[in-house]
Structure 1
Amino acid sequence: MGRRHVSRPHPRTLGDHVSSTRHAEVAGGGLAGLTVATALAQHGWSVRLHERGSELREIGAGIFLWENALRVLERIGAYDDAVALGDPIGSWRLFDERGRPIQDDWMKDGATRLITVKRTELHQALAQAARRAGVQIETNSQVSGATPEGHLLLESGESREADLVVGADGVYSSVRRSLGLDLVVRDLEDGCMRHLVPRRPTDVAGEALEYWNGGRRVGIVPVTPDQVYIYTCCPAKDLAGRAQPFDHAAWGDSFRDVRHYIDRIPDQSRWAAFHDVRTHSWVNGRGAIVGDAATAMAPNLGQAACVAMVNGFSMASVLAQHDDIAAGLRAWEQRQRGVSDATQKYSRLYGKVGTRWPRPLADARSALVWLAGRSESWQHRVNVAAHAGADLVGPRSR
């Protein structure tokens, strides 16, 4: 390998913050990368964030923001911008093939908030918070890896020296791979399409609805005053379910009670496969991974992005208490990993029950889910991220 050019910014004033000698290089301009970059900058770090695209941009439709993520947004000053047009959700109801309600308040209790927002608006709110904190954002900057000694490697051949390098570069993270943290990246053999459709006055408000029929699931969630978020999930082998253009007839036949929503789905929709990432560790020396690079999971519990944001925020909080960055990163992983692993586990279980359950045993599935919903301890375990994750962030400020 050829010799790499090494660069590192000089200590400088970043917005209202004066940098210490600590500098971080962050790979990835998604939700996790922006959160950790902002939190570090607010703790006095100089931070440079690398986005491989020509601009900061987020794709997707709606997103669930549970209590844990809402507290992060409050702490970094992005809450008002993120939820300005969002919908507070008071309940999450689940229906089976026969149209029977098998959960009246799925994963919801009075102690946790849930707000649904457009994913693009959340991303913009985080980007604005990052800029206010003084994060230096480099676009068209493609990362090829990192070293435990604190070098972020670019595909251009340059090497950026830092006290900390963070990989928030997605499921197929080059930072994770180069740091030797890979264990398994698994295609869960199911996935979904996400849609935004026009909202009508008679549409659902203040609650999320989910319908199951065999391996297919449809979620219907208000997301702005003018739009409804619909997700259509199915096994990868369900070719009609994942067909492009969108097969309105196939989905309408499976979910006749909500066909008036399905008919509004645009023809062109993008199928996204679900993945599960498991690692030996999140840390090697002064290199760390966060977000999908460390904890990718199916979005079955609405917690994938929330967990990523909490872990990014907490990294900065824990490092503020440690002079030794490598030791601080180890303490951070020990603090956060239990909640993240549990959330991944229950997300996998939800997918097995909701998408891969044998069709002849559908009534048994309904009975099982109904019983689980009446167990407070089970519900608390499934929603551990909203409770324990929120506690790790700190008390709510609203």
Structure 2
Amino acid sequence: MGNIAVVVGAGIGGLAAAIGLRRVGWEVTVVERAPLLDDAGAGISLAANGIRALDALGVGTAVRAAARGQYTGGTRTPDGTWLARMDGAALERALGTPIVGIPRATLHRLLRAELPPETLVVGAEVTELDRAEPGRVRIRANGGDRVAGGTEVELEADLVVAADGVDSRTRAALFPDHPGPAYSGSTVLRALTDRPLDLSSDFEITWGHGAEFGHIAFTDGRAEWHAVLNSPAGVRHTDPLGELRGRFAGWHEPIPQLLDATRPEDVLHHDIHELTTPLPSFVAGRVALLGDAAHAMTPNLGQGACQALEDAVVLASALARGGDVDSALRAYDAERRPRSQAVTVAARKAGRMGQQLSAPGAVALRNTAMRLAPSGATLRMILRHADWMPPRLPEPPPAPATRPE
């Protein structure tokens, strides 16, 4: 079995895959279209399954140190009434870790730090993926920091990992009959505050009619906030903060405070797409799909990044067992596809019963049901998806000893 891999995409899933592959003895090149890895993004929550995957990759300790545990908070109505409270301590007792919140830029930086700089090729667009020759895959990357502008470089590999996101070109090439991502009906605006805030909880979401506002608090006192709205695709606003102040006028604190602590230029706006049609396989020849390229889901369960991290660990473990690459990829597909596609469906259902619900009668019924639900109902819902144990990966080889000068 050869041991040269190319990972397409340097997001959280792609970097995690590269770390896992290197840990089990593979030589890895990560190809990223973006010209700069500028740590764009807002914040992210990681449940126990994501943290456990990071532990298996050897990055969990560093992530925990940089993250803030989500012990307090829950779900509210626009007037501030609590629908459900978060019990992070109970989660920690059940799973060994609470959900944690961390800026995406920090998580990305910690993952990059595990890879030698020469592993990453940025500003390089994959223009061809040739699977014609059995046992080998060739990629041509146009541009990149190792390549003269406008020229092509051919990278040969025994394995390609497609981690190129919800709009994956690799997926489209491998499965031309698949309809691709579909618009979920919701759009999200989000940002990090530009200064610390005195927040009374670690994590909150508030549900109105076809709208959600939430925040994640970080260790430095800043916070990520997100506003999810039912909306036609493609709608954009010349003054996003002004639009949100109007949309959420009268909603409880700290929502106005979070918006006031945000610079207009920091607001990100993306329509939410998902793979409503499941892929028939996460593997095509020597190409493995991973993360959003394989199972893009709505953010309603906070599981998108966690599932990508699971993918990375399971792929590395399958390849570490020995045997041929094709058998390892079949094992990866058999293990990951049923679970991740089930989580995708559960996230879609959670959105329809949560943020997307807009009819006044349906909203009132949902809110009443949540207020009357037993205190452990929320905990059981989280455990259903977060209580996952990763396969154990081999210990990385020791660093070569340096001779004293």
TM-score range (shorter-chain normalised) is 0.7 to 0.9
Q: Distance in 2 between matches of 1:189 and 1:82?
A: 33
What is the match of residue 3 of structure 1? none
| Aligned CA distance change for structure 1 residues 252 and 189 (closer, same or farther; 3 Å) | closer
**Offset of residue 169 of structure 1:** 0.7
Greater mean deviation of Cα atoms: 222-231 or 30-39? 222-231
CA contact (8 A) 1:222 1:228 kept: yes
Q: Distance in 2 between matches of 1:326 and 1:371?
A: 51
**Offset of residue 284 of structure 1:** 0.8
CA contact (8 A) 2:187 2:233 kept: no
What is the match of residue 139 of structure 2? 152
What is the match of residue 399 of structure 2? none
**Offset of residue 192 of structure 1:** 1.1
CA contact (8 A) 2:194 2:263 kept: no
TM-score by length of 1: 0.84
What is the match of residue 110 of structure 2? 125
Identity of aligned residues (%): 25
- Report Cα offsets for 1:53-105 as digits up to 9, x if no partner: 22333311111111112122223232343343321111441012443211112
Instruction: Describe the SS at the equivalent of 2:315.
Output: helix
Q: Distance in 2 between matches of 1:282 and 1:238?
A: 28
Greater mean deviation of Cα atoms: 326-335 or 117-126? 326-335
**Offset of residue 298 of structure 1:** 1.5
| Aligned CA distance change for structure 1 residues 321 and 85 (closer, same or farther; 3 Å) | closer
> Does structure 1 residue 43 correspond to structure 2 residue 43?
no
Q: Distance in 2 between matches of 1:392 and 1:77?
A: 12
Instruction: Describe the SS at the equivalent of 1:279.
Output: coil
| Aligned CA distance change for structure 1 residues 69 and 328 (closer, same or farther; 3 Å) | same
Question: Which of 182, 192, 196 is residue 196 of structure 1 equivalent to?
Answer: 192
Q: Distance in 1 between matches of 2:112 and 2:6?
A: 16
> Does structure 1 residue 89 correspond to structure 2 residue 70?
yes
The amino acid that maps onto 1:350 is A
The amino acid that maps onto 1:142 is E
Instruction: Describe the SS at the equivalent of 1:357.
Output: coil
Question: What value does the CA root-mean-square deviation take over the aligned residues?
Answer: 2.7
Q: Distance in 1 between matches of 2:233 and 2:293?
A: 28
CA contact (8 A) 1:213 1:254 kept: no
**Offset of residue 381 of structure 1:** 5.1
Question: Which of 174, 178, 181 is residue 179 of structure 1 equivalent to?
Answer: 174
| Aligned CA distance change for structure 1 residues 174 and 237 (closer, same or farther; 3 Å) | closer
The amino acid that maps onto 2:365 is A
What is the match of residue 57 of structure 2? 76
> Does structure 1 residue 274 correspond to structure 2 residue 259?
no
1:339-378 correspondence runs (5 A) = 339-361=339-361, 362-370=363-371, 374=375, 376=377
Q: Distance in 1 between matches of 2:321 and 2:233?
A: 50
Q: Distance in 2 between matches of 1:343 and 1:88?
A: 23
Q: Distance in 2 between matches of 1:87 and 1:332?
A: 32
Q: Distance in 2 between matches of 1:154 and 1:261?
A: 42
- Report Cα offsets for 1:267-308 as digits up to 9, x if no partner: 231211111123221101111110111111121211111110
CA contact (8 A) 1:291 1:307 kept: yes
1:209-248 correspondence runs (5 A) = 209-237=204-232, 244-247=239-242, 248=244
**Offset of residue 106 of structure 1:** 7.5
1:275-354 correspondence runs (5 A) = 275-277=273-275, 278-354=278-354
Q: Distance in 2 between matches of 1:293 and 1:139?
A: 19
The amino acid that maps onto 1:265 is T
CA contact (8 A) 1:97 1:212 kept: yes
Q: Distance in 2 between matches of 1:35 and 1:201?
A: 32
What is the match of residue 13 of structure 1? none
Q: Distance in 1 between matches of 2:345 and 2:127?
A: 30
- Report Cα offsets for 1:335-366 as digits up to 9, x if no partner: 12222112111211121122321332221121
The amino acid that maps onto 1:387 is D
| Aligned CA distance change for structure 1 residues 385 and 183 (closer, same or farther; 3 Å) | farther
Q: Distance in 2 between matches of 1:176 and 1:238?
A: 22
Instruction: Describe the SS at the equivalent of 1:323.
Output: coil
What is the match of residue 16 of structure 1? none
| Aligned CA distance change for structure 1 residues 372 and 57 (closer, same or farther; 3 Å) | farther
CA contact (8 A) 2:186 2:229 kept: yes
Q: Distance in 2 between matches of 1:174 and 1:241?
A: 25
Q: Distance in 1 between matches of 2:180 and 2:382?
A: 23
The gaps in structure 2 that reach 5 residues or longer are 143-150, 394-405
> Does structure 1 residue 137 correspond to structure 2 residue 120?
yes
CA contact (8 A) 1:76 1:129 kept: no
The amino acid that maps onto 1:303 is Q
**Offset of residue 158 of structure 1:** 4.4
TM-score by length of 2: 0.83
- Report Cα offsets for 1:188-210 as digits up to 9, x if no partner: 121211111155563134x3111
CA contact (8 A) 1:65 1:115 kept: yes
